[in-house]
Amino acid sequence: MIFRRRITGLFTAKKLVRVLALLLCILITERSSAQSMSSYFATRGVSSLADASHPANLFLKGSYNVTNDYVDVFITSQDNILEGKVYTELRLIRGIGIFSFRDIIVRRDTDPWARPFDALKLQANIILVFLQSTMGEEKFNEMLAVLKELYGEDITEWSGKTWALAVLNADYNKYSLE
């Protein structure tokens, strides 16, 4: 009887819904082949990463290489102030489920003024302040609590790289379902 109570306690309705959602996401991800990932990077993934890594630069061109474990992305952009070319090489470590990408590694970046994704953190912080002022403190804190439960951490503490990962995962999942 004690064993049965422990098992029953482990599977509350909320936990069961989360497990089912995770399984559904894994199935969706398994259906999306390397071909769809290649299509994603060919159509919008590379340019989205260019905008996220250096939003003030002009995206000139990019390329990518999709493997089973990671995606390498090569970006050439132009610094809008100094007008020099900036070369950025990123490696996206692949994940599972709704988190198709679990890490971004900056392998090379030649921008002398800004590290990749630093400006994205600044933009995200501005949006959070705007949301807080328009939503009110109570609703804003409720939203933060829901997002903390979803991601397991406080999004106000995220780096620009973490914001880029969240947006990239959401965009790729949307693309996979289109």
Both 74 and 143 in one domain: the answer is yes
Question: Could you list the residue range(s) of the whole structural domain that residue 152 is in?
Answer: 33-177
DSSP conformation class of 89:
E
> pTM for the complete prediction?
0.74
Give CA 58 to chain center in angstroms. Answer: 21
Q: What's the domain count of the chain?
A: 2
CB 94 within 8 A of CB 30: no
27 and 37 part of one domain: no
Same domain, 108 and 95: yes
Which residue, chain included where needed, has tokens 């780096």?
159
Rounded-to-integer distance, Cα 164 and Cα 170, Å: 10
Residues 72 and 4 in one domain: no
pLDDT at residue 8, rounded to an integer: 43
pLDDT at site 21: 59
Same domain, 12 and 25: yes
100 and 137 in one domain?
Answer: yes
Give burial (CB, 10 Å; 0-12/13-18/19+) of 46: buried
Over residues 108-137, mean pLDDT: 90
Q: Do 37 and 23 share a structural domain?
A: no
Instruction: Give yes or no: residues 99 and 15 share one domain.
Output: no
Please indicate, yes or no, whether residues 160 and 72 belong to a single structural domain of this protein: yes
Same domain, 124 and 82: yes
pLDDT at 78: 93
Confidence bin at 2 (pLDDT 50/70/90): very low
The mean pLDDT of 33-60, rounded to a whole number, is 88
133 and 75 within one domain: yes
Q: 3-state DSSP helix/strand/coil percent for the chain, to nearest 5?
A: 55, 25, 20
Single out the residue of 136, 176, 163, 132 nearest to residue 49, CA to CA: 163
Same domain for 14 and 58?
no
Query: Over the range 69-101, which residues count as b (16 or more CB within 10 Å of their CB) and which as e?
Result: ebbbbbbbbebeeeeeebebebbbebeebbbbb
Above 60 in pLDDT, residue 134? yes
Q: How far apart are CA 134 and CA 137, in angstroms?
A: 9
